[in-house]
Amino acid sequence: MSELKNFKNFKIKTLKYRINYLEPEAKILEQAAQIINHGGLVAFPTETVYGLGADALNADAVKKIYEAKGRPSNNPLILHINNLNQAEDLVYLDDRAYSLMREFWPGPITFVLKAKSIIPLETRGGLDTAALRMPDNKIAYKLIEAANTPIAAPSANISGRPSPTDFNAVSQDMDGRIDMILYSDNNNLNKNIGIESTVIDISDEQPLLLRAGGTPKELIDKFLLKNFNVKLEKPDEQSKRRSPGTRYRHYAPLIPVKICYFKDNNFIDLKDNSEWGFIGLHEPNKIFKKVLIFKSLESYARELFKSFREFEAEGLQGIIAELPDDETGVGLGLRDRILRASAL
């Protein structure tokens, strides 16, 4: 593939294909799979955010992911798979891992487990563990099947930027840097989650919540308590079992994001700001240049990253984001993303 030789110049031609969500066209999948199998990069939709995929077992291909994203190479990638046999080839599984996978996959949850040596160190950021996820999206499923290899995929954004949830966002960050973008308009029939998967580390006795996300923490706790008499804990600051990715400021647009709170039917300390935008669950009682109100935590999460990018593109000077206090459902993950986008 001649384009791939020029990869470091980031001037490669990026093929862009719209693909049918319900019945992904075999021809397009075949071409995408060939790129993966030749060590190239393909962005593809999942039910959370778009992934930037490469053959997870090809160290050189994986290195290109880090280059295209500008991502620190010690921040490990998630391996996307589409069946449990694949998981057995990649990591060491115990009863608890099997039952969690059967309960929650396919879906927005990633499991960190002890890695087998078949996974290159590049893919797992030098760690002795690896992260696995089975996405609930037919295009992703079929792509993994066609490539016949696990696909390493971080979110398809430049490192630190909001994760992409539509074609425009992927294209904005990755055009000219990768070989192909697969996209779909009615991706997942608009049931997308909009923030990334929940990441839990089950490589040791005590399961840890490394990143809140699409799968609610309370559902995982309920399942773990009932079947294994244990609950998720947060890693302490010194823990080696932390997620390297959570150390960096993340998910942020180029304009500042500030938080506001809604309590007892009122916003606390909210001021007029005619050059800024507002996003949240309640109508603000102050003046903003643009206001987006979401009817539910789910739609807020689904639109969060897209709103960040839109407000930025529209030339607003900053964003005031209402921080919801509901930590159930997608609330915990949504709060985490808003807090980290606003971190200085």
Q: Which stretch binds ligand TXA (CB under 6 A): 9-17, 92-100, 151-159, 324-332?
A: 151-159
Q: Which does 257 bind (CB under 5 to 8 A by kind): ligand TXA, Mg ion, none?
A: none
Give CA–CA dist 82/77, Å, rounded. 16
What single string gives the DSSP state of each residue in 82-124?
Answer: SSHHHHHHHB---HHHHHHHHHH-SSSEEEEEEBPTTS-TTTT
Tell how many helices (H) and how many strands (E) occur in the chain: 10, 16
Instruction: Find the binder of ligand TXA among 36, 209, 210, 270 (CB under 6 A).
Output: 210
Give CA–CA dist 112/132, Å, rounded. 6
Compute how many residues bind Mg ion; rule: CB under 5 A.
1
Which pairing describes strands 262-263 and 266-267: parallel, antiparallel, or unpaired? Answer: antiparallel
Compose the 51-90 pattern: x for residues touching Mg ion by CB under 5 A, - for all others: ----------------------------------------
- Identify which of residues 64 and 133 has a Cβ nearer to ligand TXA in the complex: 133
Q: Which stretch binds ligand TXA (CB under 6 A): 23-31, 92-100, 124-132, 184-192?
A: 124-132
* CB-based contacts of 45, cutoff 8 Å, min separation 6: 21, 51, 137, 139, 140, 182, 183, 184, 187, 188
Token representation of residue 135: 């996405």
The verdict on 124 binding ligand TXA (CB under 6 A) reads yes
Q: Which does 197 bind (CB under 5 to 8 A by kind): ligand TXA, Mg ion, none?
A: ligand TXA
Minimum distance of ligand TXA from residue 109's CB (angstroms):
9
Q: Which does 253 bind (CB under 5 to 8 A by kind): ligand TXA, Mg ion, none?
A: none
Q: Which does 58 bind (CB under 5 to 8 A by kind): ligand TXA, Mg ion, none?
A: none
End-to-end CA distance of the chain: 42
**Strand, helix or coil for residue 166:** coil
Sheet with 198-201, edge to edge strand ranges: 15-18, 180-183, 42-44, 51-55, 151-152, 78-80, 129-133, 109-114, 198-201, 208-211
What single string gives the DSSP state of each residue in 204-261?
Answer: SSS-EEEE--SS-HHHHHHHHHHHHS---BPPPTT-TTS-GGGGS--S--SS-EEEE-
- Identify which of residues 142 and 288 has a Cβ nearer to ligand TXA in the complex: 142
Minimum distance of Mg ion from residue 85's CB (angstroms):
27
Give CA–CA dist 6/246, Å, rounded. 32
Compose the 136-155 pattern: x for residues touching Mg ion by CB under 5 A, - for all others: -------------------x
Compose the 159-198 pattern: x for residues touching ligand TXA by CB under 6 A, - for all others: -------------------------------------xx-
Minimum distance of ligand TXA from residue 173's CB (angstroms):
12
Token representation of residue 105: 């996959």
Minimum distance of Mg ion from residue 164's CB (angstroms):
10
Give CA–CA dist 326/237, Å, rounded. 25
The verdict on 46 binding Mg ion (CB under 5 A) reads no
Q: What is the dihedral of CA 129, 135, 141, 146, to 10 degrees?
A: -30
Instruction: Find the binder of ligand TXA among 36, 43, 49, 257 (CB under 6 A).
Output: 49
Give CA–CA dist 71/66, Å, rounded. 5
Minimum distance of ligand TXA from residue 10's CB (angstroms):
20
Q: Which residues within the stretch 245-274 sit at the binding site for ligand TXA (CB under 6 A)?
A: 245-246
Minimum distance of Mg ion from residue 43's CB (angstroms):
13
Contacting positions for Mg ion (CB under 5 A): 155
Footprint on this chain of ligand TXA (rule: CB under 6 A): 46, 48-49, 51, 75-78, 108, 110, 112, 124, 127, 129-131, 133, 135, 153-155, 196-197, 199, 210-211, 243-246
